[in-house]
Amino acid sequence: MDLRAGDSWGMLACLCTVLWHLPAVPALNRTGDPGPGPSIQKTYDLTRYLEHQLRSLAGTYLNYLGPPFNEPDFNPPRLGAETLPRATVNLEVWRSLNDKLRLTQNYEAYSHLLCYLRGLNRQAATAELRHSLAHFCTSLQGLLGSIAGVMAALGYPLPQPLPGIEPTWAPGPAHSDFLQKMDDFWLLKELQTWLWRSAKDFNRLKKKMQPPAAAVTLHLEAHGF
């Protein structure tokens, strides 16, 4: 199997271990928590904001990659990019995820995706692209912090970095420009899909945590002045 496409991810994985714990810092400062409800709502809102931001960013970046990547019908097979966290999940499995697992999967996914995005930023050719990517990375960092906050409020530990990541790496055979672009394409696609999934994940969490008082106030508005 051709491993050349995956090598860039391997190189970045090492970098990711260093950056892993950075988003955890904001979560430790929370005191006097009113409950996880508002922070779940905030996390949900962040995923929507990021999804909108990504739409314009992806459009610009895919145009920069050029055809066929910016064609709407582009439908390549999923080769390489093996280490990208995949949003796709069996319907029943997704439904039955417990809160801790749901949050953990989101947290781990965005940690990896953030790391890869930073790698993308380094390679980007134009200053405008680098600026847009940097802005998006900052927002994504905020999302990670928000998820960490929810996990802390619910008493769940933050996930540890995955074992088996080599501390040193040897630069693999230089893989083609096209394969690199394929990796970039899949990164953006996976990021977009994860943001859609997260919206649904946080919806589920929001419904579970919803205090009963909110339902009462809605009724008052409908019948009174």
Partner 1 sequence: MAEMEGEGLRATSKAEVGNQMAAPVPWACCAVLAAAAAVVYTQRHSPQEAPHVQYERLGSDVTLPCGTANWDAAVTWRVNGTDLASDLLNGSQLVLHGLELGHSGLYACFHRDSWHLRHQVLLHVGLPPREPVLSCRSNTYPKGFYCSWHLPTPTYIPNTFNVTVLHGSKIMVCEKDPALKNRCHIRYMHLFSTIKYKVSISVSNALGHNATAITFDEFTIVKPDPPENVVARPVPSNPRRLEVTWQTPSTWPDPESFPLKFFLRYRPLILDQWQHVELSDGTAHTITDAYAGKEYIIQVAAKDNEIGTWSDWSVAAHATPWTEEPRHLTTEAQAPETTTSTTSSLAPLPTTKICDTGELGSGGGPSIPFLISVPVTLALAAAATTTSSLLI
The two structure tokens encoding residue 48: 């929507």
Q: Using CA atoms, how far apart are residues 206 and 36, in angstroms rounded to an integer? A: 9
User: Least distance (Å) from partner 1 to the CB of residue 202?
Assistant: 10
Q: Using CA atoms, how far apart are residues 181 and 48, in angstroms rounded to an integer? A: 26
Q: Using CA atoms, how far apart are residues 12 and 69, in angstroms rounded to an integer? A: 23
Question: Taking CB under 8 A as the rule, does residue 122 contact partner 1?
Answer: no
Place of tokens 């929001």: 206
CB atoms within 10 A of CB 119: 19
Question: Taking CB under 8 A as the rule, does residue 2 contact partner 1?
Answer: no
User: Least distance (Å) from partner 1 to the CB of residue 177?
Assistant: 22
Question: Taking CB under 8 A as the rule, does residue 75 contact partner 1?
Answer: yes
User: Least distance (Å) from partner 1 to the CB of residue 14?
Assistant: 25
- In 3D space, the residue among 26, 151, 6, 10 whose CA is nearest the CA of residue 81 turns out to be 6
Question: Taking CB under 8 A as the rule, does residue 207 contact partner 1?
Answer: yes
Of the candidates 22, 25, 89, 101, which one interacts with partner 1 according to CB under 8 A? 89
Between 152 and 188, CB nearer to partner 1: 188
DSSP 86: P
For binding to partner 1 (CB under 8 A), which residues are involved?
Answer: 48, 51, 73, 75, 77-78, 86-91, 94-95, 186, 189-190, 193-194, 196-197, 199-200, 203-204, 207, 218, 222
